[in-house]
Structure 1
Amino acid sequence: MARETYEDWVVPEFAPDVIQALGRNSATEKLARPETMTSDTKQVPRSGDFAVAVIAKGAAYGETAGTNDYVEMIARKVGGIHRVAVEDLMDSRVDILATKRVDAARGLAKFFDNATLAVSAASNGGTIPYTSVYKAVRTTNSATSYTADDNYTAGALSYANLNSTLAKYEDSEWADDSETFVIAHPAFKAAMRGLLDSQNRPIFVQGQGDVADVLFGHPITWSFGAKVSATATQSPTGNPLLIVGNRQLMIKGMAQLAPYVTSTNPGFQLQLPTSGDGFKTDEALLKAAMRRGFVIGTEHGFSVFEKTS
């Protein structure tokens, strides 16, 4: 067993607030279309085309022969435990539990974003809980007539590459301006500020206050999880990604784990040392967990730019 120590916090003149890294919400949690899950697996119907054509007088109508299928989500559990001595909880002027709840929420957000957006391999049910947007657009899918990398661009950050990324999405029948989102790693910010179009106008407009940053007229949601990684992690180190898509085609499954983890929110549970190992050592356990599924509706509704230099 291992626990963090707080001896440096338990001093008479310590300020009541802790300086923390800025907590950020998950981009996927914020933007994806929610689907309630009452079991660990859910199939979401996907409709095929409805074909129409000119019909001569007295001629028979042509019949649609499209495929109506489904995409499948499997709920996965993500979480961790923080161990703290009860003396620290009693003696510290810092609200340790509130502080660690913020840390846990930030960790869950980054992990969930990385798992759903940027992991480079297909789901294996363990270290890779979902097939990410990045993996999906880099993989051929005969069920949707999608060819690998059709909606993928890689290279240096430039006006041409960003324009190409958005154009690939806009060229799809699944594009919808009213539902379009842009998710990007904050590593794009500095480089974007210097990009101009052919008339020397900035393509990246930095927002103020509650107004979001904007790229080509679309608001940007920043995510520290949007970096490529081999397996899901809250600290990815690969190339940063920019993803354009239709939020109705990015589907998150909302599953309940326990009374303290509802289908709408991650949960936190404090177990005081009344039994078990904690009873032997006077240590409380703070558990943080969330249970989510994830799947995309079709690869044609997304476009990904990977900044490789």
Structure 2
Amino acid sequence: MASVNADAWIPEEYDSEVVTRVNANSAVEALAKRKVMGSNTIEVPRMGAVSVDVVAKGADYTDAEPTLDVVTLTTRKFGKTFTITEEDLGDTLADVVSGYQTEWAVSYARKLDNAALACTGTENGGTVPFTSLYKAAGSGQKLATAGAVTYAKLSDAFGIYEAGDYANDADTVVVAHPYFKNAMRGLVGTDGHPIFVEGLAGTPSTLFGVRVQFSYGLKLSATATDSPTGTVGAAGTAGNPILVVGNRQHLLLGVRSGPESMVGEEFRSDEKILKVRARRGFAVTRTQAFGILEVTTS
């Protein structure tokens, strides 16, 4: 059995290369509302709609009776170990470790997005860490486009979101698989101007003037994966790319710890063990706050 030096976990600084990679590749990490988790499971209150009265002079106020329930966040651990031989290290331990950490960050970012937004399986805490937005959303929130992504279909996806009670321009974002980049280039509005503008020099891309974050995790898959595959098929088929437009405040990301890492020693050989992890919970507070466009074959 390996004997590992149990050094303290070292959290990544906010501006570290690992966190930068995670935020660049994960829409959920970059855009979702964050909730610090002090335990492995927490319940977040969710309040229903509240009406407002016009109160006449001297009249009594009436009590609001909103529906109050909770959204449960349960921590899931995303991690990996890397064995590094001493012969390979030389005097470059920091560079080797940094290289593994940043590559893990990209894979973690994609798998988190897939698990949170595009996984079609039923939550089991393992291969399906969360109930994804796609799984939770009703048929009224989903729209299919057979092959071609058109102006009309994109506009209709926005319309599904905008017709709901939870639309808010200030918090509206678009998340999409990079498949949509090529599909949206050249699409123009009635004024002849492109509806999709690719970002340059660090500026975000926009669709209909709304920020777009692209993620390779936004292909449907039966279980959570950092590399979803499959060919485009009927609605719900693994491999179908999706685009989501909605209110980011209704994507709830629980943060228990990490990204963080630890380097220990394998006592019986000249090896180092790098362990990297992030502990996260995820839930959608209101599925009605989103519209989903899925590319299908029919």
TM-score > 0.5 by shorter chain:
yes
Q: CA deviation at 1:292?
A: 0.3
Relative to structure 1, the CA distance from residue 42 to residue 94 in structure 2 (aligned partners, 3 Å threshold; closer, same or farther) is closer
CA distance, structure 1, for counterparts of residue 201 and residue 57 of structure 2? 61
**AA partner of residue 207 (structure 1):** G
Relative to structure 1, the CA distance from residue 131 to residue 302 in structure 2 (aligned partners, 3 Å threshold; closer, same or farther) is same
CA distance, structure 1, for counterparts of residue 44 and residue 103 of structure 2? 33
CA distance, structure 2, for counterparts of residue 41 and residue 26 of structure 1? 23
Relative to structure 1, the CA distance from residue 279 to residue 59 in structure 2 (aligned partners, 3 Å threshold; closer, same or farther) is closer
CA distance, structure 1, for counterparts of residue 219 and residue 170 of structure 2? 26
Does 1:209 find its partner at 2:197? Answer: no
SS of 1:231's equivalent?
A: coil
Relative to structure 1, the CA distance from residue 69 to residue 85 in structure 2 (aligned partners, 3 Å threshold; closer, same or farther) is same
Conservation of the 8 A alpha-carbon contact between 1:51 and 1:63: no
1:271 is aligned to 264
Q: CA deviation at 1:58?
A: 9.5
Conservation of the 8 A alpha-carbon contact between 1:118 and 1:229: yes
Conservation of the 8 A alpha-carbon contact between 2:143 and 2:292: yes
Conservation of the 8 A alpha-carbon contact between 2:82 and 2:275: yes
**AA partner of residue 25 (structure 1):** N
CA distance, structure 2, for counterparts of residue 35 and residue 59 of structure 1? 40
Conservation of the 8 A alpha-carbon contact between 1:52 and 1:62: no
1:44 is aligned to 44
Residues 84-130 of structure 1, C-alpha deviations (whole Å, 9 max, x = no match): 21110117799322211111111111111111110012311111111
SS of 1:113's equivalent?
A: helix
Unpaired runs of at least 5, structure 1: 2-21, 138-147, 256-262, 273-277
Mapping for residues 212-291 of structure 1, pairs under 5 Å: 212-237=204-229, 238-255=239-256, 263=257, 265-272=258-265, 278-291=266-279
Relative to structure 1, the CA distance from residue 170 to residue 279 in structure 2 (aligned partners, 3 Å threshold; closer, same or farther) is same
Mapping for residues 101-140 of structure 1, pairs under 5 Å: 101-137=101-137
- Larger displacement relative to structure 2 (204-213 or 93-102): 93-102
CA distance, structure 2, for counterparts of residue 127 and residue 37 of structure 1? 22
Residues 123-160 of structure 1, C-alpha deviations (whole Å, 9 max, x = no match): 111111111111111xxxxxxxxxx2111111131111
TM-score, normalization by structure 1: 0.80
CA distance, structure 2, for counterparts of residue 176 and residue 134 of structure 1? 20
**AA partner of residue 110 (structure 1):** R
Q: CA deviation at 1:200?
A: 2.9
Which structure has the highest strand share of the two?
A: 2
SS of 2:25's equivalent?
A: coil
SS of 1:291's equivalent?
A: strand
**AA partner of residue 123 (structure 2):** S
Q: CA deviation at 1:52?
A: 4.2
**AA partner of residue 217 (structure 2):** G
Conservation of the 8 A alpha-carbon contact between 2:25 and 2:214: no
Q: CA deviation at 1:73?
A: 0.7
Aligned residues: 266
Mapping for residues 54-73 of structure 1, pairs under 5 Å: 63-73=63-73
Conservation of the 8 A alpha-carbon contact between 1:184 and 1:220: yes
Unpaired runs of at least 5, structure 2: 2-20, 230-238
Q: Paired residue for 1:197, among 189, 193, 208?
A: 189
SS of 1:95's equivalent?
A: helix
Residues 274-306 of structure 1, C-alpha deviations (whole Å, 9 max, x = no match): xxxx22232211111000000011111111111
1:302 is aligned to 290
Q: CA deviation at 1:197?
A: 2.1
Q: CA deviation at 1:202?
A: 1.2
Percentage identity across paired residues of the two chains: 42
Greater RCO (CA < 8 Å, at least 6 residues apart): 2
**AA partner of residue 103 (structure 1):** E
CA distance, structure 2, for counterparts of residue 93 and residue 71 of structure 1? 43
CA distance, structure 2, for counterparts of residue 81 and residue 234 of structure 1? 16
Q: Paired residue for 2:141, among 151, 169, 183?
A: 151
**AA partner of residue 288 (structure 1):** V
Q: CA deviation at 1:215?
A: 0.0
CA distance, structure 1, for counterparts of residue 59 and residue 95 of structure 2? 77
TM-score, normalization by structure 2: 0.83
